[in-house]
Structure 1
Amino acid sequence: MGVRLILAEKPSVAKNIADALNIKSKKDGYFEGERYVITWAFGHLVELYDAKDYDGKMRSWKMDNFPFIPSEFKYKVKSNPRNRAQTDGGAAKQLKTIHALMKRNDVDEIISACDYDREGQLIADSIIYRGGVKPKVAVYRLLLNEWTQNEVLQGLENLQSNDRMKPLRDAGISRQWADWVIGINLTSVATLKYQQGKSKALNIGRVLLPTLKIIYDRDQEIENFKPEDYFKLTATFQTAANHEYEGTYVENKEDKFKKKELLEPINEVIQNKQAIITDKQVEKKKEFPPFLFNLSNLQGFITNKFKGWTSDKVLKVAQSLYEKKLITYPRTASTALEESLVGKTAHVLKVHSEELPYKDEMKFMKTKRVFNNAKVESHSAIIPTYMKPKRLSADEGIVYTAIKNRFIMQFMPIAEYEETKLTTKILDVDLSGVFHSKGKVQLVEGWKKVENIQSKDTLLPSVEKQERVQVSDSEVTSHVTKPPKHHTERTLLRVMETCGKSYQEDESEELMGSILTGFSIGTAATRAETIKKLKDIGYITTESKHLLCTELGKRLVTTFPVKDLFDLEFTGRLEKALSDIQKGKAGKQEFLRLVFHFTSESVETIKHGEDVIINKVTQTRATNEVVGTCPQCGGKVIDGYKAFSCNNRKQGCTFAIWKNDKYLASMRKKPTKTMVKKLLKDKKVFVKGLTSKKGKKFNAYLSYEKNKENDYYSWNMEFSK
């Protein structure tokens, strides 16, 4: 009996699999047991060639070089993120380890255990098939929704042939090639055409631009909004038992009036008049809990409820909970569970309900709201696993509690309330309208107990039809129509998820249908990244929770001539085509042909379009001044064009502090010459005016230190020396 080699997407997942199989022996780059060897990637270990890798002439950006579409797409080992001219040493070493393990004589099965999605399939296949699979070695796929021991052991009993994953791989490749071709060609040509100064690119992307357009459109709606005045008449009625209730004057089903003059005479004649309740309607209504979370809804919920959170942060925290075996796969678009998970879900509920004060009210039931195959696409909704967390960070606690509570709500009683509508008519006055009142009473709290959700209810006194009341007070109030609100991450995610289809409520079947057919902008996995990138490249900005277009973003929308790229329908169709490839309903050739044709046409459109400047980039000059001694090799650190870097770069020294450093940028800072000099001299520098995620200013000591595990440097922050 041979050895099975398992490839996980990350070291933490490999450790989960090793734990499930009770394998303790860790070697350099893998775990080894009797029957299993478990190794790992760090996400993508290979990437597509850059344009210049295909053809030396592409090193310089010239209009004549575009459109550039390779006849064959090639891959190379991942580049060092801090210096793209170099290969990432860690990735190269791990790739070598994986390929050596694949070639071992005792290995007769390879099991791909990367995430069960487009990207996970691409990561594993790009590594496995690059290594050259030996003729007698079978490649299998482990398809899991969580990394608990039970699931891992069960999954290894139910492996699928990796050949069956071809549609998933084709969708992953198609997405990757399409984004490369559109991004490389249109970003290059747009930068050449519309930008003054070339130190950075004018980013053009398939998902980036329609998302920008959603924010731009809302900003325009607000800017062009013309407020209108309207008036309402409200009366207070007193019952014989001295209880009071309010009513609003309604005429021809309308309670908002353009002219105050219509209401003022009515207000005068009803003073102290008697009135009669001509109609009373009481209706019992049910309130169902909101559906289980998919990723977009979870991101919307958390960013809306807690300050300082972004969609990107929610995904990172959820990913960490998933890798700790505490929740199921987070990058899902589904809000229901597969029907086959009924038994497992009942067990999870039992585990999490043990200590709850309302556990006697809970009842496990198989309902269509929770278990529904028609509403599940490749992954079920996010729920907790049967493992209870021992220790969670504050951020993990927020996300975990939201997921657990949403899960528990599904098995609590349905909330019920009573809604009462009254119609009150003024006596002895000839009015064509009546007064309407509405109130409700919560009868059953049900699932609302879980998060202690208080209903904002207007309570009406106990009155009967035909009862007489008296007007005790009344007033005409003036109001102004309000403009729509700026988008938040929550509202933006909803538009992206449904490709702009408007929705009224969670229940909308058409809406769920559009999500499940893949008609969206980006995927659950990529939307947060898109929003973050729009902020990073300066197309949008944030004001508290609101997202707004910057001047640069506005100029891009109004000037860039390839209008299809801003069109939600166009992008939705591309995403739908990728979804169809993934389901095996369409081939990748037709899709790629369409993308390549679109790219070539778009390049010509830009070339022959009007010459305008969308962006002016002020150049940062390289002074080449020596600012200190390199902590890595003792060389000289010089003030260069893109970084303060060691002049022994050609000899292999990688030390650099980049001028667009992401960590500093996240606190709205850039490294200055003075700051770097002090840092290199004293190993620490006091930096004033850093900005927190919540927008507050603070000061701190920063140091820039080499990591123990690899050759990279990272920042450390302290608040006292």
Structure 2
Amino acid sequence: MSKALFITEKPSVAAEFAKALKINGRKSDGFIESDKAVVTWCVGHLVTMSYPEKYDIKLKKWSLNTLPFLPKSYKYEVIEGVKKQFNIVKSQLLREDIDRIYVCTDSGREGEYIYRLVDEMAGCPDKQKRRVWIDSQTEAEIIRGVKEAKDLSAYDNLSEAAYLRAKEDYLMGINFSRLLSLVYGKTVSTYLGKSYIVIAVGRVMSCVLGMVVQREREVREFTVTPFYRIIGSFNVSEDCNYDGEWKAVEGSKYFESPILYNEGGFKTQEDAENLIGELRDSSIDNNVLVENISKKKENKNAPLLFNLAEMQNECSKKFKINPEQTLSLIQALYEKKMLTYPRTDARVLSTAISKEIDQNIKKLMKLNGNTEINNIAKNIIEKKWYSGIAKTKYVDDSKVTDHYAIIPTGEGLQNYSSLKEMEKKVYNLVLRRFLAIFYPPAVYNKVSVITKINKERFFTSDKVCVELGYLEVLKPDNESNDRESTNMKFLSLLKKGQTVTLKELVVKEGKTSPPKRFTTGSIIIAMENAGKLIEDEELREHIKGSGIGTSATRSGILTKLEKIEYIKSNNKTQVVMPTLLGEIIFDVVKNSIPTLLNPELTASWEKGLTMVTQSEIPGDIYMDKLENYIVKNTDRVLQLNNGLRLKSKFDMASEFY
């Protein structure tokens, strides 16, 4: 009797598939078998690309004469440490009694690549092959994924993009690392007093190193600039005062004046003091006018859901853990069936999942050990706040590619009480962000006052939260639960055209701040946004295009840069800084192949891979561009002669170490 074969990425996932599909057979060495099906597994990557010496033994020796290395066809080999499991998987693929194969590796580009390499090394057996694509490891999702599995060929473009990505990293790494090491390695090692230094270069790695070094140099070169603001204190009644800040808006004597630092401050204290003198002279009996007052209500909606990058940034800020640790924790919660697939770029839900999202919420009502969450979930269900979610910004199919945002499945709740402390913190973070989107917006009362002295205006604004809405779920540290503030009461009493008393005018010195160093979390956000560190969460979502690396690879790039000692991060603050070696390597790359440091160019490579996945460009066009880039830059470096210039750059960097 013919059988089905299920191939997963890890043994633990294989166990979940066997359980969900009721494959209650004997567990053999490397597979599980019943009378109807077999489940086997990879252990991550089983196959890798061969080093150049496998093409020609002469290529083992690094030489400029053999660069660039651009094979016509690529060689692959089984990874030495996992040969046994590869042979088990291969033997199952080739069994005569197996007529259909279900590919159940992780639902993403890397998972696709893992299986396709195994399939290729096993001789591409001529059998029916279907791709299982799931968003979580719950039993229902596994069963759905198997039932709706598409023919593997439907993912051929994704597979092609995966192969191209691997070839790109391989070619850039081998060619440029050998090239720069041969041309500049001796210069670098002599400067640092080392016997030999390999200059490691990578498509994404070099770009991220560039971001860290450039930010560090911006901090170093920053000059603090003082500026001088004017604050007015105004008296409404004996016990009622408010402050306003002067701004040189249109109509002001100082509008667009060159003596201003910005519209709210002067370059010198003397000019600020002069204005104060003028204002005092022009206010008769210290009476000044309330020129305008506006009152309005402002609604603020819950933030979008978490994708991996946002999650890594939040955990870096809140818990001071690095992105690799965050990914590991979310992966563990995914494998416990508690969260959906972690390696996602989407921050919204799909229309399909939004139609049945109430099921997730109902299950969360039964979360043991967290009465507050039970009540929040119960509130959403009883008030049917989930019913209109499909028409909100939280559901958008155009922003969902492989997977929707990270959300709780409502499953695996029996594991909650036994979670490690940090796992529980991470789970609760996702849980609250998810539940918050169903709550009404927070409502603020906002009052703005313009107080006029002669032609000059002082601006006052205050806002207070009058309805907590979703803030009841998220409880941010910086939100006050006070329904009214004393200042708001005073400001609300004011009327347009009213006279108030000028009590005091003072100069306050401000200082410009240097740019912030990256943290392990903020650099992930910057990578997602092609090198731009955009603080505003909503703005990030609006301008997001192709980033540097992918959600699956970004944390690994940081880990590698630390391992080779190009960067370092502080465990307590998570602040990232370069090492002297990192700065020297940066200068080598900048003065030889500067485009490797360009975030927009690096992001465009990633965009190209996406276009291959979506059939917008053929893979051979992408490959031609890649090979031309390598040939052009190899020729360029061989014609340069900038050793002396580099020495002076190294000297400038070493002053800080």
Q: What is the TM-score when the length of structure 2 is the normalising length?
A: 0.86
Alpha-carbon separation, structure 2, partners of 1:293 and 1:452: 17
Partner of 2:525: 494
Cα offset for 1:222? 2.2
Describe how 1:137-176 pairs up with structure 2 within 5 A: 137-176=127-166
1:251–1:432: 8 Å Cα contact kept in structure 2? no
Correspondence for 1:328 among 324, 340, 344: 340
SS class of match (2:121): coil
Correspondence for 2:460 among 413, 429, 437: 437
SS class of match (2:6): strand
- Amino acid in structure 2 at the alignment position of 1:381: A
Alpha-carbon separation, structure 1, partners of 2:241 and 2:544: 48
SS class of match (2:470): helix
Cα offset for 1:14? 0.5
- Amino acid in structure 1 at the alignment position of 2:129: V
Partner of 2:623: 592
Partner of 1:719: none
Alpha-carbon separation, structure 1, partners of 2:197 and 2:213: 23
- Amino acid in structure 2 at the alignment position of 1:115: D
Partner of 2:266: 257
2:322–2:574: 8 Å Cα contact kept in structure 1? no
CA-to-aligned-CA distance 1:240-278 (integer Å, 9 cap, x gap): 251222111223262212222233245456498233322
Alpha-carbon separation, structure 2, partners of 1:239 and 1:353: 51
- Amino acid in structure 2 at the alignment position of 1:606: V
Query: Are the structure 2 counterparts of residues 410 and 274 from structure 1 closer, same or farther at C-alpha, using a change threshold of 3 Å?
Result: same
Q: What is the TM-score when the length of structure 1 is the normalising length?
A: 0.79
Query: Are the structure 2 counterparts of residues 141 and 358 from structure 1 closer, same or farther at C-alpha, using a change threshold of 3 Å?
Result: closer
SS class of match (2:340): coil
SS class of match (2:440): coil
Are 2:509 and 1:521 aligned? Answer: no
Identity of aligned residues (%): 26
SS class of match (1:312): helix
Partner of 2:69: 68
Partner of 2:83: 92
Describe how 1:381-396 pairs up with structure 2 within 5 A: 381-387=405-411, 388=413, 389-390=415-416, 391-396=418-423
Describe how 1:282-301 pairs up with structure 2 within 5 A: 282-301=295-314
Higher share of residues assigned strand: 1
2:525–2:533: 8 Å Cα contact kept in structure 1? no
Describe how 1:315-394 pairs up with structure 2 within 5 A: 315-353=327-365, 355=371, 356=373, 357-359=375-377, 361-362=379-380, 363-364=385-386, 365-366=388-389, 367-387=391-411, 388=413, 389-390=415-416, 391-394=418-421
Alpha-carbon separation, structure 2, partners of 1:568 and 1:546: 20
1:375–1:512: 8 Å Cα contact kept in structure 2? no
CA-to-aligned-CA distance 1:411-461 (integer Å, 9 cap, x gap): 1111110110011234xxxx3212211100101111112232244577432
Alpha-carbon separation, structure 2, partners of 1:425 and 1:545: 46
SS class of match (1:369): coil
Partner of 2:258: none
SS class of match (1:489): coil
Correspondence for 1:464 among 485, 494, 502: 494
Are 2:601 and 1:570 aligned? Answer: yes
Are 2:181 and 1:191 aligned? Answer: yes
1:182–1:599: 8 Å Cα contact kept in structure 2? yes
Cα offset for 1:134? 4.2
Partner of 1:612: 643
Cα offset for 1:502? 7.0
1:219–1:549: 8 Å Cα contact kept in structure 2? yes
Cα offset for 1:353? 4.2
Partner of 2:475: 452
- Amino acid in structure 2 at the alignment position of 1:463: L
Correspondence for 2:578 among 549, 561, 567: 549
Describe how 1:302-313 pairs up with structure 2 within 5 A: 302-307=315-320, 309-313=321-325
When structure 1 is superposed on structure 2, of 11-20 and 484-493 the one drifting more is 484-493
Partner of 2:508: 477
User: Where do 4+ consecutive residues of structure 1 move more than 6 Å?
Assistant: none
Partner of 2:19: 19
Alpha-carbon separation, structure 2, partners of 1:139 and 1:358: 44
SS class of match (1:425): strand
Query: Are the structure 2 counterparts of residues 134 and 49 from structure 1 closer, same or farther at C-alpha, using a change threshold of 3 Å?
Result: closer
CA-to-aligned-CA distance 1:198-217 (integer Å, 9 cap, x gap): 65521100011111222222
Cα offset for 1:526? 0.8
Cα offset for 1:512? 4.4
Partner of 1:55: 56
Alpha-carbon separation, structure 2, partners of 1:141 and 1:446: 42
1:294–1:332: 8 Å Cα contact kept in structure 2? yes
1:146–1:322: 8 Å Cα contact kept in structure 2? yes
Cα offset for 1:282? 0.7
Cα offset for 1:347? 0.7
Query: Are the structure 2 counterparts of residues 406 and 471 from structure 1 closer, same or farther at C-alpha, using a change threshold of 3 Å?
Result: same
Alpha-carbon separation, structure 1, partners of 2:593 and 2:15: 47
Alpha-carbon separation, structure 1, partners of 2:643 and 2:427: 49
Cα offset for 1:584? 1.8
CA-to-aligned-CA distance 1:612-633 (integer Å, 9 cap, x gap): 3979xxxxxxxxxxxxxxxxxx
Alpha-carbon separation, structure 2, partners of 1:453 and 1:359: 19
Cα offset for 1:360? 5.8
CA-to-aligned-CA distance 1:86-143 (integer Å, 9 cap, x gap): x21xx111111112222223211111100111111110111123223544x2111111
When structure 1 is superposed on structure 2, of 567-576 and 116-125 the one drifting more is 567-576
Alpha-carbon separation, structure 2, partners of 1:199 and 1:226: 38
CA-to-aligned-CA distance 1:500-537 (integer Å, 9 cap, x gap): 4575744449x54643xxx2211111111112222222
- Amino acid in structure 2 at the alignment position of 1:448: L
Higher share of residues assigned helix: 2
Task: Say which structure, 1 or 2, has more relative contact order (CA 8 Å, 6+ apart).
Answer: 2
Query: Are the structure 2 counterparts of residues 559 and 202 from structure 1 closer, same or farther at C-alpha, using a change threshold of 3 Å?
Result: closer
Alpha-carbon separation, structure 2, partners of 1:71 and 1:250: 66
CA-to-aligned-CA distance 1:335-385 (integer Å, 9 cap, x gap): 111111123322112222454344465321323322110111111111111
Cα offset for 1:65? 2.1
Could you tell me which runs of 5 or more consecutive residues in structure 1 were left unpaired when the two chains were aligned.
79-86, 616-721
Alpha-carbon separation, structure 2, partners of 1:359 and 1:433: 52
Alpha-carbon separation, structure 2, partners of 1:228 and 1:609: 40
Query: Are the structure 2 counterparts of residues 360 and 144 from structure 1 closer, same or farther at C-alpha, using a change threshold of 3 Å?
Result: closer
Correspondence for 2:112 among 121, 126, 146: 121
2:290–2:450: 8 Å Cα contact kept in structure 1? yes
Alpha-carbon separation, structure 2, partners of 1:103 and 1:140: 16
Task: Give aligned pairs, total.
Answer: 595
- Amino acid in structure 2 at the alignment position of 1:75: Y
SS class of match (2:310): helix
Are 2:442 and 1:415 aligned? Answer: yes
Query: Are the structure 2 counterparts of residues 50 and 483 from structure 1 closer, same or farther at C-alpha, using a change threshold of 3 Å?
Result: same
Alpha-carbon separation, structure 2, partners of 1:239 and 1:174: 70
